[in-house]
Amino acid sequence: MNALTGTGIVKHFGGIKALDGVDVAIEEGKILGLVGPNGSGKSTLINVLSGFYPADQGKVDFGGADLLRLGPHEIAGAGLARTFQIPRPFRTMTARENVALSYMFGQRRHSLAAARRAAGQWLEFTDLEEVGDLPIDQLTLHQLKFLELARALATEPTLLLLDEVLAGLNPTEVEESIRMIQRIHDQGVTLVIVEHLVRVVTALSSTLLVLDQGRVIARGHPEVVMKQPEVIRAYLGSKWEHA
Amino acid sequence: MTTRGKALIGFAVVAVVLNLVPTLVEAFDAPGFYVTFMFTAFFWIAQAVSWNILTGYSGYFSFGQGAWFGIGVYTTGILAVKHGWPFLLALPVAGVLAGLSGLVLGMVVFRLRKLGGEIFALTTLAIAFVLASVARLYSFIDGGRGIFMTGTPLPEFLGDFRTAMFRMTFVVAFLTVLTAYLLYESRIGWGLFAIRDDEPVAHGLGVPVFRYKMLALGINALFGGLMGGVWSLQIGFVTVDDVFNIRVPLFVILMSVLGGMKHWMGPVVGAVIIYSLTDRLNSAGLEDLNQVIIGGLLIVLVLAVREGIYLRLRERWKLSLAVFAAAMAIWTIFDLATSLIWDFSYASLITVGVALLPSRRRPGESEPPSAGVPQTAAASDRSPP
Amino acid sequence: MNEVLNQAIVSGLLIGGLYAVMSVGISLTWGVLKIINLAHFSFVLLGAYVTYELTTSFGWDPLLALLVVIPGGFLTGMIMQIFFELAKVDEFQSLIISFGIFIIFQSITRTIWSADFRRIGGDLNRYESMSFFIGDIAVQVAPLLAFCVAVAIAVGMSLLLGRTYFGKAVRAIVDDPEIARAYGIDVRRVAVILSGLATAFSATAGVFIATFQSLTPNMSFGWFGIVFPVVILGGLGSAVGALGAGVIVGVAAGVATTEWGPLSASLVTFLILIGALLFRPQGLFTRESST
């Protein structure tokens, strides 16, 4: 059963084809790893699926709706959420308020009073309870990334797109983040993770999707895919990390 | 009782107390100017608060308050004078027409994904001057001849002219402030604050940004126009130059920046202080100096007291109240100034000094980078990485 | 074709040059420094009044005022930018502050020169009535000079941006100030110089305005409706774009005035602004797409 099926997604920026006819199928309740060398279109795909960029062509079926025809807030209402690689919290609000706001406008609309009460549970889930009422500039990068998660989760999504959650974290923080991702997965949320740490992605994902220059060059079981010659070729010459 | 319940009772009390003023003024044979002073303050409160609902809450900076004001003024002028409508019937039309105009503007500018904030600001800047030209051009509006409003009949229950103005301006100002308050702690208010903070992210989290921005703009234009409609009577002889000039747009910015754009009370405080200041300057014969002072004040304020004085005063509210009460007492008892209004002005200025004391934040808590200063939507309109 | 219309088009073309010079300053600071500096309107106004003063009080030829106005404008622009840098203002603050400066200068201008219309008398200003004929079309020298200056600025800026180190630095900053800084470009210095240039351009526009228009402090308000359509239509930061857009706006306003009277001109220019916003917000003359 697919949570999301995308066909023929095309996105141009001026003369550059960031996405050149991408097909993507995300199985419900599973984790899809999205990898590829720099500039392959991973972030663009996330942005298109979540409505931040309008696509030029294509169709994305998500719970019966075509996501490419919806505005970002409607996509959120349909149950799709995303995090940002470089965290973008609301700086004029506290972490708790960030989460409460998210909950208010998420998949199921809630009142302000309910949101205030409920925010605590996501802060606890992401270990942010103690820093929940501090000004945002006092949170570490790791905490901000978890806030991204808390905020996305508060919209009660069925599908969550994680854009390089591990980037910029030290090994301990990476371990904690991996555990957090697994906890989210255990809640039944379908996940798409974009990561450069290939070893992590291969370990977490049930399916791997490899992009190169806007095209899908491989798709399948992580162990199998990473050994494919096209994939190795795509990565040759570009820097990538083994975790 | 909930905080909201208490606040609403507070609103009701204030409403009752204020409405006693005209009667009290008559009873004590005090100068009628006190009533005029107050209803002019109501005018500015409504303009500043309605402006802040858009700019302060959503971050979309508007230079166009003059447009809504002007539409309101001319609508009542045309309907009541040129077409003989009862004034109280023309008034809501003024508000609605201004509100709709705001929505039309929003339809054009808010639909543009990328340019939003700055373009919106500049379009609003141009709009008032264009409206002025249109008004001058078409004689069914003005045609360069002006509209003579003085003597327009008002219903008897409103009392004499001054009392009528007081009641009408009070109602509009009251509704405006009440709306600002209700929005503040509401879904819509929170949505607007999120838009101000980072619109694309807010959009992605499910905030219907277009709808909310339209709502803020519509409310802004509605109340600006409604108060403009009332004010046409005070202007007396309505001319294009008198109505479509820089004064209203400029003052609302100044009042809101001074009072604070993050809180619904900010513009109220700012309006009262700025209005009494300029009024006193005018009465002292220093009108020319007015604009230099206003401009200078704007610059100093936006640099020094970023979140506006209201929030600072609220941090030390006991001190602020005490200072104000003491100053008022000293000035009135020792008859240090020529009128009660002068006493009030001096007392307020001294109280403003309290706001200049360093911000009292809990130790270890730094001030967020843009506390109280709305980022223009342009600043937050970065495309995602 | 209609004689009157032809005349309107030619006159509109020339005055479009003036519009371009008026607009290029604010366009540059907006496009490169991302600051909307409303004080530019004051600089145009001051340039005009300083010219008026030098001519009427000291008998200078109006064009000689450029010798004072250009360095003065440059200096003012530099000081402004230095102030913005030192005070670490953000976008909102720069908008308010420049608005405050505009209001202050407005007031100062009114105090010094009063609200009465001022015009440099024909005896002191030979450009005012100078004109020649091409066929049946009258070409006024004063706006023609402004047009030539606009072309010079457009060409000059193109060369500057394309062929000099400074120009490359500017283009790098437009792309990404952080990276420009990382490559050793002194962003502050470039910003200050650019601001000086931009202000000098604005003040220069004022000189030409003084040669053939009547001055009154409130005239700067009328410029909002001209400059912003030109800036948007021409594309932020483009001097060439400003020239092209200036011409379009000038011709449109001129034709509108001829056909429907002077007051329709501001409506027409406003519609141009709205049209530009709706259909081509990046400007007519830039090569980028609108996403």
Which chains does B contact via 3+ CB–CB distances below 8 A? A, C
Dihedral sign for Cα atoms in the order B200, B206, B210, B216: negative
Cβ of B295 within 8 Å of Cβ of C107? The answer is: yes
Is C103 an 8 Å CB contact of chain B? yes
Interface of B with A (CB under 8 A): 185-187, 190-191, 193-194, 196-198, 200-210, 262, 365-371, 383-385
Taking CB atoms and an 8 Å limit, are B130 and C266 in contact across chains?
Answer: yes
The rounded Cα C267 to chain-centroid distance in angstroms is 20
| Nearest-by-CA chain B residue for C99 | B295
Distance from C-alpha of A96 to C-alpha of B361, rounded to nearest angstrom:
19
Judged against a pLDDT cut of 50, whether residue C155 lies above it is answered with: yes
> Does pLDDT of B377 surpass 60?
no
Q: Do A102 and B206 touch (CB under 8 A)?
A: yes
pLDDT in tens, A95-112: 999 999 999 998 777 787
Taking CA atoms, what residue in C is nearest to A16? C289
Q: Which residues of B touch A47 (CB under 8 A)?
A: 384
Confidence check: pLDDT of B70 > 90: yes
Model confidence at C223: pLDDT above 70: yes
> Residue A25 pLDDT more than 50?
yes
Query: Six-digit token pair at A127?
Result: 């270990």
Query: Does C89 touch chain B if contact means CB atoms closer than 8 Å?
Result: yes
Residue C222: in which H helix or E strand, if any?
Answer: helix C219-234
In the numeric block, which tokens belong to residue B113?
């994904």
β-partners of residue A2 are A27
| Least reliable range by pLDDT among A55-59, B331-335, C102-106 | B331-335
Q: What's the whole-number mean pLDDT along residues A70-88?
A: 92
CA distances to A54, A117, A138, B59 from A133, in Å? 35, 14, 10, 23
pLDDT at B111 over 70: yes
Chain A residue whose CA is closest to C291: A13
What is the rounded average pLDDT for all residues in chain C? 87
Token digits of residue C144 = 């023609």
b/e per residue, B185-204, with b = 16+ CB within 10 A?
eebbbbbbbbbbbbbbbbbb
Chains that touch C (3 or more CB pairs under 8 A): A, B
Taking an 8 Å cut-off on Cβ atoms, the answer to whether B201 and A155 are in contact is: no
Cβ pair C259, B126 in contact under 8 A: no
| Residues B21-36, mean pLDDT to the nearest whole number | 84
> Is the minimum CB–CB distance between B109 and chain C shorter than 8 Å?
yes
What is the 3 state secondary structure string of chain A? Answer: CEEEEEEEEEEEECCEEEEEEEEEEEECCCEEEEECCCCCCHHHHHHHHCCCCCCCEEEEEECCEEHHHCCHHHHHHHCEEECCCCCCCCCCCCHHHHHHHHHHHCCCCCCHHHHHHHHHHHHHHCCCHHHCCCCHHHCCHHHHHHHHHHHHHHCCCCEEEEECCCCCCCHHHHHHHHHHHHHHHHCCCEEEEECCCHHHHHHHCCEEEEEECCEEEEEECHHHHHCCHHHHHHHCCCCCCCC
Q: In this predicted structure, what is the pLDDT of residue B334?
A: 83
Q: How wide is the angle at C-alpha C105 spanned by C-alphas C100 and C111, nearest 5°?
A: 130
Inform me whether the pLDDT recorded for A230 exceeds 90.
no
Instruction: Decide if B130 and C267 are in contact by the 8 Å CB cutoff.
Output: yes
Instruction: State pLDDT tens for residues A166-198.
Output: 888 888 998 899 999 999 999 899 999 998 888
Please give the residue of chain B at the shortest CA–CA distance from A153: B205
Look-up: residue for tokens 């990382």? Answer: C182
CB distance C228–B127 less than 8 Å?
no
- Residues C198-203 have a mean pLDDT of 95
Please report the pLDDT score of residue B382 as a whole number: 38
> For position B321, what pLDDT does the model report?
87
pLDDT at residue B378 is higher than 60:
no
Task: Please report, in angstroms and rounded to a whole number, the separation of the first and last CA atoms in chain A.
Answer: 31
Sequence-ordered list of residues with C-beta below 8 angstroms from that of B171, at least 6 positions apart, any chain = none
Per DSSP bridges, beta strands A207-212 and A31-35 are: parallel
Lowest mean pLDDT across B83-97, C119-133, C253-267: C119-133
Q: Which chains touch A (3 or more CB pairs under 8 A)?
A: B, C
- Nearest Cα residue to C78 out of C150, C29, C149: C29
C278 and B375 in contact by Cβ < 8 A? no
Shortest distance between the Cα of C60 and any Cα of chain B, in A, equals 30
CA distance to partner chain A, nearest, from residue C154 (Å): 26
Residue-wise pLDDT for B257-285, tens only, equals 889 999 999 999 999 988 988 888 888 77
Percent of chain C surpassing pLDDT 70: 97
What's the pLDDT at B375?
38
**Rounded to whole angstroms, how far apart are CA atoms C84 and C92?**
12
**Chain C contact for B365, CB < 8 A?**
no
Can you tell me the distance from the alpha carbon of B124 to that of B64, in angstroms, rounded to the nearest whole number?
Answer: 4
In chain A, residues 46-85 whose CB comes closer than 8 Å to chain C: 53-54
B205 pLDDT more than 80: yes
Shortest Cα distance from B131 to chain C (angstroms)? 8
Give me the pLDDT at residue B71, please. Answer: 93
| From C91, C99, C110, residue closest to B378, measured CB to CB | C91
A151 contacts in B (CB within 8 Å)? 205
> In chain B, what residues touch A148 (CB-CB under 8 Å)?
none
> What is the pLDDT confidence band of residue B330, given thresholds at 50, 70 and 90?
confident
- Cβ atoms within 10 Å, residue C184: 7
Residues of C with CB under 8 A from a CB of A: 288-289, 291
Say if C274 is an interface residue toward chain B (CB within 8 Å): yes
- Residues of chain B with pLDDT > 70, as a percent, come to 90
CA count, 13 A, side-chain hemisphere, A131: 20
Record: contact B366-A135, CB cut-off 8 A: yes
Whether A44 shows a pLDDT value over 60: the answer reads yes
Tokens of A126: 């992401």
Q: Is C158 exposed, middle or buried (0-12, 13-18, 19+ CB in 10 A)?
A: middle
Q: How close A172 gets to chain B, by Cα (Å)?
A: 25
Q: Do B207 and A155 touch (CB under 8 A)?
A: no
ipTM score over 0.95, yes or no = no
Q: pLDDT digits over C83-124, tens only?
A: 998 888 877 788 888 988 998 998 899 888 888 888 887 777
Top pLDDT among B233 and C270 is at: B233
3-class SS shares of chain B: helix, strand, coil, % to 5:
70, 0, 25
A82: which residues sit within 8 A by CB, 6+ positions away?
Answer: A46, A49, A50, A152, A160, A161, A162, A163, B204
pLDDT confidence of residue B223:
97
- A86 neighbourhood in chain B, CB within 8 Å: 385
Helical packing angle, C141-163 and C239-260, nearest 10°: 150
Nearest to A91 among B197, B205, B207 (CB): B197
Q: Quick one: closest CA in A to B195, which residue? A: A90
Using pLDDT thresholds of 50, 70 and 90, give the confidence band for residue A33: very high
At B345 the pLDDT is: 83
What is the CA angle C194-C198-C203, rounded to 5? 145
> What is the per-residue pLDDT for C63?
86
pLDDT at B182: 94
